[in-house]
Amino acid sequence: MKEFVVGWLYPDLMNIYGDRGNILTLVERARWRGLSPTVLELGKGVREGIESVDVFFFGGGQDREQALVYDDLLELKAEPLRHALAEGAAMLAVCGGYQLLGHYYQTAEGERFPGLGLLDLHTEAGQKRCIGNVVVDVSGLGLEPTTLVGFENHSGRTFLGKDLKPLGRVIVGSGNNGEDGTEGVAAGTIYGTYLHGSLLPKNPHLADHITAAALKRRGVIPLGPLDDALELEAHRRVRDRELAGRR
């Protein structure tokens, strides 16, 4: 049976608003397809096994938690992470984790946490938090449904460098910065987003997109179809409710 390794960055510190549901979704969908999934917990001080990871997950965290992890990220994990991603592993990073993929995250008090600089983006906190349900148009990714649904709660405003492509365009919600209509980032096998909820249970099409991207280098494609009637019904209900009551 083919191994499928999910690398969970800072499970004890960067894990809010149901982010753990993304790990469960990646693992269970791999199991349903006859793969042998394992979760490698990559907390502070741990870098062992990073080279074996197929999909990294980096969840969200309040400013306090981001302050607790960024030094370990830069000093211990940056180099093997960069190497694994260059080898074709995938990354899904949500909110606080997404912000630390860029050059820096600056808090509302002006404190700056340096990021991995993997992507040409930066984040600065605004005075008002962006909170609420979100609907994103991801037709640019060729996914079906062409939407993602989730929940956001962040003070950071993220700005993408000119060569970076967003994950999608905001239909409902603030997304990256509440100004330019973009949400998240899609750069090769690296996906960043502000969508908590958790994200993947109600967006199985994105879970498969990221898993397929990671397994491409191991020739495990295509992923067989699964019965997603329940997941997609939940997606549709949230989407249609939010579109009807647009904020």
Of 123, 69, 70, 74, whose CA–CA distance to 95 is shortest? Answer: 123
- 123-142 binders of ligand GLN (CB under 6 A): 125
Binding status of residue 154 toward ligand GLN by CB under 6 A: yes
Active site residue 205: no
Binding status of residue 184 toward ligand GLN by CB under 6 A: no
In the chain, what is the greatest distance between 2 CA atoms, to the nearest angstrom? 50
Tell me which of 122, 154, 196, 205 is the catalytic residue.
196
Decide whether 89 or 95 has the Cβ nearer to ligand GLN: 95
First to last CA, the chain: 47
Q: Retrieve residue 161's tokens.
A: 């460098």
Active site residue 154: no
Binding status of residue 156 toward ligand GLN by CB under 6 A: yes
Chain centroid to Cα 183, Å, comes to 11
Decide whether 124 or 231 has the Cβ nearer to ligand GLN: 124
Given a contact cutoff of 8 angstroms between Cβ atoms, the answer to whether 108 and 157 are in contact is no
Helix (H) or strand (E) holding 56, with range, is strand 55-58
Name which position in 153, 217, 226, 228 contacts ligand GLN (CB under 6 A).
153
Decide whether 108 or 212 has the Cβ nearer to ligand GLN: 108
Q: Retrieve residue 74's tokens.
A: 């830069």
- Least gap, CB of 109 to ligand GLN (angstroms): 12
Bond preceding residue 222 cis, omega within 30 of 0: yes
Binding status of residue 60 toward ligand GLN by CB under 6 A: yes
Residues in contact with ligand GLN by CB under 6 A are: 16, 60-63, 66, 95-96, 125, 153-156
